[in-house]
Structure 1
Amino acid sequence: MKTLIQKFFNNEVLSYLFFGVLATVVYLVFRTLFFYLTQDAVISTATANILAILFAFITNELFVFKQKSPGRWERLVKFFMARLSTFLLDIGLSFIFVTQFPEIIGQFVNHNLQAVNAIVALTSQVLIIVLNYLISKLFVFTNKQG
């Protein structure tokens, strides 16, 4: 069993997906919590994104791409800059489909704003996971451990 787990986490794509799912859980928990507390989709999305990005950087740095210590701050800056585009995509989708035009999705969920927010959050996360892997693999984590 231990060997199987090691093989799983030595596979970069599987490891990325595992930690990506955990980062998504962090994101969804905080987005849902902050939306419940504030009823503001943009604030809840922004706060959840910041927390999920920090979580994702740490797990990608240490466990997925197994980076050498030198250059960590440079990678952190690159990581945040790379994630800015997907962050803006998420904010934009939240603004458009939850704040401005909730009826587009709302018509399918009895105009329940919580459900609209959840659908937009899940959909955007699927897009973001794929885009973030490509960005991280090609531009950020290029300093593999020996």
Structure 2
Amino acid sequence: MKKLIKAFFDNEILSYLFFGVVTTVVYLVTRLTLFSISKESLLATAVANIIAVLFAFLTNDVFVFKQARAGWFSRLVKFGAARLLTFCFDIGMTFLFIKQFPHIIGQFVDNDAAAIDFIESLIAQVSIIVLNYILSKLFVFKNHPQKTK
């Protein structure tokens, strides 16, 4: 079993997807909790993104792309810039499908605001996971692999 788990996490794509799902759970729990407290979807989206980006950087840097410690701050800045792009995408989706046109999703869930927020969050996150992998692989985690022992 230990060998199977190691093989799973040695596969970059499987490892990325696993930590992407965990990051999405962190994001959704944060966003939905903040939304239930504040009823402010844009604020909840912003705070959830910040927390998820920090969590994602740590897991991507250490576990997925297995980067050497040196150069981590430069990677963090690049990672943050790439995530800013997907953050804008997320805010745009939130604005369009929750603030401007909630009836698009609402027609399927009896216009329940929490259900609309949840569904839009899931749709946005699937798109963002794919885009984030591409940006990470091409621009952030490309030159500093850890030395294997």
- Give the shorter-chain TM-score range: over 0.9
In the alignment, the residues of structure 2 paired with residue 91 and residue 115 of structure 1 have an alpha-carbon distance, to the nearest angstrom, of 17
Match of 2:107 in 1: 107
Q: Could you tell me which amino acid in structure 2 is paired with residue 92 of structure 1?
A: G
In the alignment, the residues of structure 2 paired with residue 120 and residue 93 of structure 1 have an alpha-carbon distance, to the nearest angstrom, of 7
User: What SS class does the counterpart of residue 69 from structure 2 fall into?
Assistant: coil
**TM-score, normalisation: structure 2:** 0.96
Match of 2:55 in 1: 55
Mapped pair 1:120 → 2:120: yes
The correspondence of residues 1-146 of structure 1 with structure 2, limited to 5 A, is 1-142=1-142, 143-146=144-147
Identity of paired residues, percent? Answer: 58
Q: Could you tell me which amino acid in structure 1 is paired with residue 146 of structure 2?
A: Q
Segments of structure 1 that go 5 or more residues without pairing to the other structure are none
User: What SS class does the counterpart of residue 121 from structure 1 fall into?
Assistant: helix
| Post-superposition offset of 1:104 | 1.2
**TM-score, normalisation: structure 1:** 0.98
Instruction: Work out the number of aligned pairs and report it.
Output: 146
Q: Could you tell me which amino acid in structure 2 is paired with residue 132 of structure 1?
A: N
User: What SS class does the counterpart of residue 68 from structure 1 fall into?
Assistant: coil
| Post-superposition offset of 1:144 | 1.3
Segments of structure 2 that go 5 or more residues without pairing to the other structure are none
In the alignment, the residues of structure 2 paired with residue 141 and residue 39 of structure 1 have an alpha-carbon distance, to the nearest angstrom, of 37
In the alignment, the residues of structure 2 paired with residue 105 and residue 21 of structure 1 have an alpha-carbon distance, to the nearest angstrom, of 23
| Post-superposition offset of 1:122 | 0.1
In the alignment, the residues of structure 1 paired with residue 96 and residue 40 of structure 2 have an alpha-carbon distance, to the nearest angstrom, of 13
| Post-superposition offset of 1:99 | 1.3
In the alignment, the residues of structure 1 paired with residue 14 and residue 47 of structure 2 have an alpha-carbon distance, to the nearest angstrom, of 27
In the alignment, the residues of structure 2 paired with residue 64 and residue 104 of structure 1 have an alpha-carbon distance, to the nearest angstrom, of 36
Q: Could you tell me which amino acid in structure 2 is paired with residue 91 of structure 1?
A: I
In the alignment, the residues of structure 2 paired with residue 36 and residue 45 of structure 1 have an alpha-carbon distance, to the nearest angstrom, of 12
